[in-house]
Chains A and B, each alone.
Chain A
Amino acid sequence: MIVFAIFFLFPIYLLLITALKSFDQVSLSRMWDLPTSLSFESFDRAWNGGDGVIGMRGSFFNSIYLVFPATIFSCLLGSMNGYVLSKWRFPGSDTLFTLILFGMFIPYQSVLVPLVQVLRTMNLYGTIPGLILVHIIYGIPITTLIFRNYYATVPTELLEAGKIDGADFFGIYRYIMLPISAPGFVVVAIWQFTSIWNEFLFGLIITNSPDKRPVTVALQNLSGSQFTQWNVQMAGALLVALPTMLIYLFLGRYFLRGLMAGSLKG
């Protein structure tokens, strides 16, 4: 068990010790050794740039700026869809649900060509709002799935009681379902935040200028060139990993629920 734990942790060990070394301490033959003194130079370089490195600060804030609206809107849409598809079934609603779900498994390569064309005509290509829109739309399947499963556990009697009290379709949603939806929202929001933060392909395709890049694309560019300042790369990787790692550390339970929902059989 401990052997496996070492296998899972040693890349993080390497990231940490390398990122905490100062530039003159970095030597390839000592790459696995602990730093002799702590230095935050690498983080400073990865964050602010300088000496041929494009700092990741701008990209970090791009990602922040895109991840919140995209998460919030995909949660809301998922909640509405989940409500209808679990409690107001109509003929064909299960087929419709299956058709929506398929959208989360497709290789996104199969939509990229028209996506770029359509975003161009909407003047959203190369912009962060364009990327937000894309994340909202392709987030619909998973958010719908999680909310539908969550609302399916709400007893139908609760809705019947609402109807007797005179609540209509929206009234039931607003005054009965939404107030008990908080745990569902937490699971979906954490899942969406993590996936959108970590996403790479859409970011790469849709943002064509360096100042619009999300953080994963910036990290790939930082390390993609023939650039050998490993300590700056490792510091950059840690900066990218930090927000989702913090979420995992403190809210891992909810993250796991989203993860299991994604396999459809959790």
Chain B
Amino acid sequence: MAFLMILPSIIAIAIFVYGFIGWTAFVSLTAWTGIKPDFTFVGLDNYVTVFGNGRFQTNMRNTVVFTAFFLVTCLVLGMLLAVMVDSRVKGEPFFRSVYLFPMAISFIVTGVAWRWIFTPGSVPNDPTGVNLLLQRAGLGFLQSNWIADNRVIPDWYPDWSKTKLGVPMAMVPVIIAAVWQMSGFTMAMYLAGLRGISEEIKEAARVDGCDELGVFRYVTLPLLRPVTLSAVVILGHISMKIFDLVVSMTNGGPGNATEVPGLYMYTQVFSANKIAQGAAVAMIMLVLVALLIVPYLRSSVSKEVE
């Protein structure tokens, strides 16, 4: 009886998640290019092509850069906001709501707004967006081409790589927009963690001679480690899948400087008709996400059972 009630959902998930993943995996091993399906088996050829491809290497570089900066900034800012909100200053609910509201809007809205903020205009005399603000503040030397900046810093180009290694400068505005959207969520996670730490433990540390900084360093921070782990997993998997925000802010440009695997897969399959190669990219994304999520999922569910 019980099983009957969840059967429709089980069938739907079995087909639309696991069946479809299996089918994508199969397609990634075929020669399917063009409108008409072509299931000639080619083994791992598509993966070899994709990994050897400069454009996909650029994608991977961007994912690494995006993930690193996005994660660290979100964690630091989220922790800072949580500690500030937790200190119960006046107007705390207001500030908490302000920090969290970007979570309720679409990445596309975020992208449209931030794209305009980071549209450079003509530097230095006729700037727009943030460049205009910098000019008015007398900080004109900080002006930059932002989303149109095609520099890669430090522009390291070793023999084994088919792409310039470093931070693509046009990615910086995208990271800022992503942090704007997601750091409130990190704050909410840390806030829940902070509120779970009993006052007695902190008091005990104070009795032992810790000052407030010491309490934070030796009591609060270690107790927040599980929250940090959760945040790393959740934010990390989001950044591996990031798509909407990149599409609406840079659409992968200038050139392919800010393209990410999710966008590359989309253009391969739905514009270039390289279905099998797109499927291979999708499978690589899935494996990366699974490596992060599966251990986390298993530990979460088994902990609950105890």
Least Cβ–Cβ distance between B259 and chain A, in angstroms: 14
Complex alpha-carbon distance, A110 and B104, angstroms: 26
- A216 closest partner in B (C-beta): B108
Inter-chain contact count A-B, CB under 8 Å?
246
Question: Are B270 and A205 interface neighbours, CB within 8 A?
Answer: yes
Given A7-B180, A77-B9, A247-B104; A14-B116 close (CB under 8 Å): yes
Within 8 A of A (CB), among B190-244: 192, 226-227, 230-231, 234, 237, 240-241, 243-244
Determine whether B305 belongs to the interface, using a CB cutoff of 8 Å to chain A: yes
Determine whether A164 belongs to the interface, using a CB cutoff of 8 Å to chain B: no
Question: Are A94 and B21 interface neighbours, CB within 8 A?
Answer: no
Determine whether B278 belongs to the interface, using a CB cutoff of 8 Å to chain A: yes
Determine whether A182 belongs to the interface, using a CB cutoff of 8 Å to chain B: no
- Across-interface contacts of A264 in B (CB, < 8 A): 230, 296-297, 300
Segment at the B interface, from A36-44, A64-72, A255-263: A255-263
Determine whether A181 belongs to the interface, using a CB cutoff of 8 Å to chain B: no
Partner of B294 from A102, A112, A224, A252 at Cβ < 8 Å: A102
Partner of A237 from B103, B113, B128, B285 at Cβ < 8 Å: B113
Determine whether A142 belongs to the interface, using a CB cutoff of 8 Å to chain B: no
Determine whether A207 belongs to the interface, using a CB cutoff of 8 Å to chain B: no
- B14 closest partner in A (C-beta): A99
Determine whether B65 belongs to the interface, using a CB cutoff of 8 Å to chain A: no
Determine whether B142 belongs to the interface, using a CB cutoff of 8 Å to chain A: no
Complex alpha-carbon distance, A259 and B231, angstroms: 12
Q: Interface size bucket, A side?
A: 35 or more
Within 8 A of A (CB), among B166-200: 180, 184-185, 188-189, 192
Question: Are B283 and A110 interface neighbours, CB within 8 A?
Answer: yes
Given A11-B180, A88-B2, A137-B13; A263-B285 close (CB under 8 Å): no
Question: Are A107 and B240 interface neighbours, CB within 8 A?
Answer: yes
- B3 closest partner in A (C-beta): A90
Question: Are B114 and A11 interface neighbours, CB within 8 A?
Answer: yes
Given A80-B9, A81-B9, A219-B112; A105-B99 close (CB under 8 Å): no
Question: Are A200 and B244 interface neighbours, CB within 8 A?
Answer: yes
- B238 closest partner in A (C-beta): A105
Complex alpha-carbon distance, A262 and B97, angstroms: 19
Within 8 A of A (CB), among B101-151: 101-110, 112-117, 121, 126, 128-129, 132-133
Complex alpha-carbon distance, A9 and B99, angstroms: 9
Complex alpha-carbon distance, A129 and B16, angstroms: 16
Given A110-B282, A144-B9, A219-B108; A1-B89 close (CB under 8 Å): yes
Question: Are B301 and A260 interface neighbours, CB within 8 A?
Answer: no
Complex alpha-carbon distance, A216 and B176, angstroms: 21
Complex alpha-carbon distance, A70 and B261, angstroms: 28
Question: Are B20 and A94 interface neighbours, CB within 8 A?
Answer: no
Partner of A80 from B5, B240, B282 at Cβ < 8 Å: B5
- Across-interface contacts of B104 in A (CB, < 8 A): 194, 244-245, 247-248, 252, 255
6 contacts across the A-B interface (CB closer than 8 A): A31-B128, A102-B293, A114-B23, A114-B27, A200-B243, A252-B100
Q: State the B residues within 8 Å of A (CB).
A: 1-3, 5-6, 8-10, 12-13, 16-21, 23-24, 27, 77, 81, 84, 89, 95, 97-110, 112-117, 121, 126, 128-129, 132-133, 180, 184-185, 188-189, 192, 226-227, 230-231, 234, 237, 240-241, 243-244, 247-248, 251, 261-262, 265-266, 269-270, 275, 278-279, 281-283, 285-286, 289-290, 293-294, 296-298, 300-302, 305
